[in-house]
Amino acid sequence: MSLLSVRNLDVTFDIRPRGAWPWTPSQQLQAVRDMSFDLEAGQTLGIVGESGSGKSTLARAIIGTVPSSDGQILWGDTDLRRMDPRERRRHRREVQMIFQDPLAALNPRMTVGEIIAEPLTTHDRDVGRKEARRRAGEMMEKVGLLPNLLNRYPHEFSGGQCQRIGIARALILNPRLVICDEPVSALDVSVQAQVVNLLKSLQREMGLSLIFIAHDLSVVKHISDRTLVMYLGRKMEEAEARTLVRAPRHPYTQALIASVPIPDPQREKARHRPVLEGELPSPANPPSGCVFRTRCPKARPDCAKAVPAMQVPEDGHLVACPYQEVVSPLARSA
């Protein structure tokens, strides 16, 4: 049985234009549509896509900070959407989150020791201050920080160190699942590698499952077992991480991979690079049929008629495009 299973999940927001009259009908914004995936215990699922694709909304729906409008979020055989507030509070020990902006995610009025120990004192009232401080110091050592820095404040640390503090806070309850919402996008490239390697090491040590959200497919490939590609709230492609990078089938995935530069001037100059044209459509007014068709170089009239069914050309490789084909992102131009 999977640790987490998402089935046909929808997240819809009612929005009202600024300055509209109270009786003006609201408009529906479809942030996530018909999303399904499975996450096995101890594995990492990478989720990629442009800004506005619904990645963070999906993460917040899973953790429960954003209400979902339809579908199922199964934790084992329990539907998280049907939990009452007391059950949800107990479940929060099992699922924690690491946020994108490391400094903004930390309370500037609290010391690092108080920040890391806060989940522990919130969920386990029997833990005294001395014990909470001791465990916070142990967790600081695990993430590569000196425990004698417990009395310092977040502004005294660098961005990479603040993200390590956020990781320590997320892990102090020994959760089973950690959702990483673009945890390295605000960091330097060298620091990104350090944080990703730290997460992989902690995953092996603590037996964690991860959902890792990012824009950079090269980072996702390094840490993920499987990768899911989102566009305008829908799943475009899902496959084993290295397979998806080596042989992408959906035109959107191919464009994402082609946008990542190769650190070799000759190969970079010679390769075929499909370029996405146009802007991401509004999720309040998505295109009919395939939501990617307005920017797709392979779009046909049939693409506007119906949402494409998920194709399974290979074992475990899912593609939402009837006209998909393998195009190597490193292919040389003719």
The ranges assigned to domains in the chain are 2-14+29-224, 240-333
Mean pLDDT of 188-198: 89
- Specify the pLDDT at position 331: 44
Q: Write down the pLDDT at residue 257.
A: 86
To which H or E segment does residue 308 belong? none
Task: Bin 188: left if φ > 0, else alpha if -120 < ψ < 50, else beta.
Answer: beta
Task: Check pLDDT > 50 for residue 281.
Answer: yes
Q: What is the pLDDT of residue 240?
A: 94
What is the per-residue DSSP string for 5-25?
EEEEEEEEEEE--TT--TTSP
Alpha helix stretches (DSSP H) within the chain:
55-63, 85-91, 112-123, 129-142, 159-171, 189-206, 217-223, 241-246, 251-258, 265-270
Query: What are the pLDDT digits (tens) for 26-63?
Result: 888 999 999 999 999 999 999 999 988 999 999 999 99
Question: Mean pLDDT throughout 317-324?
Answer: 90
pLDDT of residue 22: 77
Centre a 10 Å sphere on the Cβ of residue 133 and count the other Cβ atoms it contains: 20
Residue whose C-alpha is closest to residue 174's, from 133, 123, 223: 123
Span 305-333, average pLDDT: 76
pLDDT band at 252 (very low <50, low <70, confident <90, very high): very high
What's residue 216's pLDDT? Answer: 81
Return the minimum-mean-pLDDT range out of 9-13, 23-27, 109-113, 226-230: 23-27
User: Which alpha helices (H) appear in 28-111, and where do they start and end?
Assistant: 55-63, 85-91
Predicted local confidence at residue 129, as pLDDT: 87
Q: What is the mean pLDDT of residues 155-166?
A: 94
Residue 261 is predicted with a pLDDT of 72
Euclidean distance between CA atoms 225 and 319, whole angstroms: 17
Q: Closest by alpha carbon to 161, among 119, 185, 195?
A: 195
pTM above 0.85, yes or no: yes
Residue with the larger pLDDT of the pair 10 and 255: 10
CB distance 92 to 120 below 8 Å: no
Enter the CATH code of domain 2-14+29-224.
Answer: 3.40.50.300
Residue 321 pLDDT level (bands cut at 50, 70, 90) = very high
Mean pLDDT of the chain: 89
Tell which phi-psi region holds residue 203, choosing left (phi > 0), alpha (psi between -120 and 50) or beta: alpha
Confidence band for 326, pLDDT divided at 50, 70 and 90: low
**Separate counts of helices (H) and strands (E) for the chain:** 10, 12
